[in-house]
A and B are shown apart, each in its own frame.
Chain A
Amino acid sequence: MALTRLFIANRGEIAVRINRSATALGLETVQAYSEADAEMLAVGMATDAVCIGPAPAKASYLVADRIVAAAKDAGCDAVHPGYGFLAENAAFAEAVETAGMVFVGPKPETIRAMGDKAAARAAAIAAGVPVVPGSDGLVADIAATIAAAETVGYPVMVKATAGGGGRGIRIAETEEDLRRLAPQAQAEALAAFGDGGLYLERVIRNARHIEVQILGDGQRAVHCFERECSLQRRRQKVWEEAPAACLNAETRAKLCASAVALAESVHYRGAGTLEYLYDETTGAFYFIEMNTRIQVEHPVTEMVTGIDLIEEMLRIAGGEPLRLRQEDITLTGHAIEARINAEDPANGFMPFPGVVGALSIPEGPDLRFDGMLYEGYAIPPFYDSLLGKLIARGATRIEAIDRLKAALAETRIEGVKTTIPLHLSLADAPEVRSGAVHTQFLEPWLASVQLAAE
């Protein structure tokens, strides 16, 4: 291991997770923390800890200059950004490298290129990866709009290039719809944004969210198969699985190969995730964006492949070539992660910070809990509500669901309300058990069920 001392520029469960893998690799760790996070679990685990500012993230975890200076002053030779905060901030990655340290992630120019939706789409097209069919740039007038829709295929979404917040968007099922709706979208965009430019995109109905985990060393890349994260509330993932049970072997192979092709085409370094929409009715998948960081749901991939993704990130950051060959990476069983948030599902998912009382986390074969809790810990109200992630593996998907359900029922986190009742209901829902879900499933389902009080 070429690295010796790692600065962890994050908090919560991912800081705990990074500390573990780094320590196992023989690295010293220096944990960053805000004034509100002095009591967090990762601070006690790390070799050293440094306060980087007041409670609000914009005064601590988001202050790039101060974090770089703190890492340098603490004698670190690398910085792991975790997820969120500065993890996908190219200027931060650049500042870390300019200060003579290694950024545990891709090169700044890769973060910049893949962070721009249009540039990422262009890179995907160049690598031969399918993207959501759309018009080739802006459509000039109604005739051009109709012509583009013929090529793209109905139903189409007419979008204002300057749009936002849902304004300037119309869905047209037919040419007749489009003739009526396109001028409306244009007028709305012109009024709201002063720019009537329109483009078209195919509507993918009842799409599933599928993402491929990749690892690259700047030259070569491998995939660690895919995850399905279709159960989302307000665009936040709630429950994640690996692999995606809806894919057949042929589609899985094509999907994962496309991710490797795109990763290699941008000389990707580190761990990354390519997100796709999957249309189950046609078996087509479409690249939507790339996340250039470790993701919250990475443990499901680790559970079915046996790979420690954080360890691989650190080895690659230390300059080792990718040590995994594609043929060494295999899938064993099925894994599911339930995100346990400090929110009250019986009360509109109201956040519920508090002091952790009695705590009991189940253990057993094929169970894992990635968390940051201990009895007496006062959960600060300043950051997100993720308390931990309960992950269960089974030989089959149903076995994984049942193991997760039993573990959830046994989990006790006194003192706060959590989303465990939501996960218990999901584990019993016929649609979830049969796997008949998509990204628009969870919110209407929530509106139709009464979640049991914890």
Chain B
Amino acid sequence: MSVIRSPLPGTFYHKPAPDLPPFKAEGDPVAVGDVIGLVEVMKSFMEVKAEVAGTVVRFLVDNEAPVTAGAVLVELAD
């Protein structure tokens, strides 16, 4: 089991835009470099990229919920 953490504090988004599907859903494969979500910080949007590969087990932060720097966003199964 590995995790992906938020690099910055802000607001976490699962989707690239409100009317688009999420970057990743539970059960989806994740490759190194895949975008798994966005963090909005001071009105700028930063992509959160996977540094490890795996399969999405679950998101620990809801769409549009606040996050702190270092908070676990996603759990991945190996």
Contact present for B41 and A351 (CB under 8 Å):
yes
Contacts of A55 in B (CB 8 A): 11, 66
> Complex: how many Å from CA A384 to CA B41?
8
Q: Is A353 on the interface with B (CB-CB < 8 A)?
A: yes
> Complex: how many Å from CA A56 to CA B41?
11
Per-residue interface assignment for chain A, residues 26 to 69, with 1 indicating a CB less than 8 Å from any chain B CB and 0 otherwise: 00000000001000000000000000000110000000000000
Q: Is A342 on the interface with B (CB-CB < 8 A)?
A: yes
Contacts of A382 in B (CB 8 A): 10-11, 42, 66
Residue of B nearest to A348 (CB): B44
> Complex: how many Å from CA A353 to CA B66?
14
Q: Pick the contact of B42 from A36, A56, A381 — CB < 8 Å? A: A381
> Complex: how many Å from CA A383 to CA B40?
10
* Closest-CB distance, B23 to chain A (whole angstroms): 20
Contact present for B44 and A350 (CB under 8 Å):
yes
Residue of A nearest to B64 (CB): A56
* Closest-CB distance, A224 to chain B (whole angstroms): 30
Contact present for A383 and B42 (CB under 8 Å):
yes
| A317-353 with Cβ < 8 A to chain B | 342-343, 350-351, 353
> Complex: how many Å from CA A270 to CA B14?
43
Q: Is A411 on the interface with B (CB-CB < 8 A)?
A: no
Residue of B nearest to A343 (CB): B42
> Complex: how many Å from CA A117 to CA B55?
50
> Complex: how many Å from CA A56 to CA B64?
9
Size of the B side of the interface (Cβ < 8 Å), in residues, is 12
Contact present for A381 and B64 (CB under 8 Å):
no
> Complex: how many Å from CA A353 to CA B41?
8
Per-residue interface assignment for chain B, residues 35 to 71, with 1 indicating a CB less than 8 Å from any chain A CB and 0 otherwise: 0000011111010000000000000000010100000
Contact present for A56 and B11 (CB under 8 Å):
yes
Q: Is B8 on the interface with A (CB-CB < 8 A)?
A: yes
Contact present for B43 and A353 (CB under 8 Å):
no
| A201-256 with Cβ < 8 A to chain B | none
Q: Is B29 on the interface with A (CB-CB < 8 A)?
A: no
> Complex: how many Å from CA A385 to CA B42?
6
Contacts of A350 in B (CB 8 A): 44, 46
Contacts of B16 in A (CB 8 A): none
* Closest-CB distance, B63 to chain A (whole angstroms): 12
Residue of B nearest to A54 (CB): B66
Residue of B nearest to A383 (CB): B42
Per-residue interface assignment for chain A, residues 83 to 122, with 1 indicating a CB less than 8 Å from any chain B CB and 0 otherwise: 0000000000000000000000000000000000000000
Per-residue interface assignment for chain A, residues 339 to 371, with 1 indicating a CB less than 8 Å from any chain B CB and 0 otherwise: 000110000001101000000000000000000
| B18-44 with Cβ < 8 A to chain A | 40-44
* Closest-CB distance, B13 to chain A (whole angstroms): 12
Contact present for A384 and B43 (CB under 8 Å):
yes
* Closest-CB distance, A238 to chain B (whole angstroms): 15
Contacts of A353 in B (CB 8 A): 8-10, 41-42
> Complex: how many Å from CA A385 to CA B46?
15
Contacts of A56 in B (CB 8 A): 11, 64
Known: A382-B10, A382-B11. A351 touches B66 (CB 8 A): no
A56, A350, A382, A383: most-surrounded residue (chain B CB, <10 A):
A382
Contact present for B42 and A351 (CB under 8 Å):
yes
> Complex: how many Å from CA A55 to CA B43?
13
Contacts of A342 in B (CB 8 A): 42
> Complex: how many Å from CA A350 to CA B46?
9
* Closest-CB distance, A191 to chain B (whole angstroms): 21
Per-residue interface assignment for chain A, residues 379 to 416, with 1 indicating a CB less than 8 Å from any chain B CB and 0 otherwise: 00111110000000000000000000000000000000
Instruction: Give the 8 A-B CB pairs with smallest separation, nearest first.
Output: A351-B42, A385-B42, A381-B10, A381-B9, A381-B41, A351-B41, A351-B44, A384-B43
Sample (11) of A-B pairs whose CB atoms are under 8 Å apart: A56-B11, A351-B8, A353-B41, A381-B8, A381-B9, A381-B11, A381-B40, A382-B10, A382-B42, A383-B43, A384-B43
Contact residues of A with B, CB < 8 Å? 36, 55-56, 342-343, 350-351, 353, 381-385
Q: A56-B11, A383-B43 are in contact. List 9 more A-B contacts (CB 8 A).
A: A55-B66, A342-B42, A343-B42, A353-B10, A353-B42, A381-B11, A382-B10, A382-B11, A385-B42
Contact residues of B with A, CB < 8 Å? 8-11, 40-44, 46, 64, 66
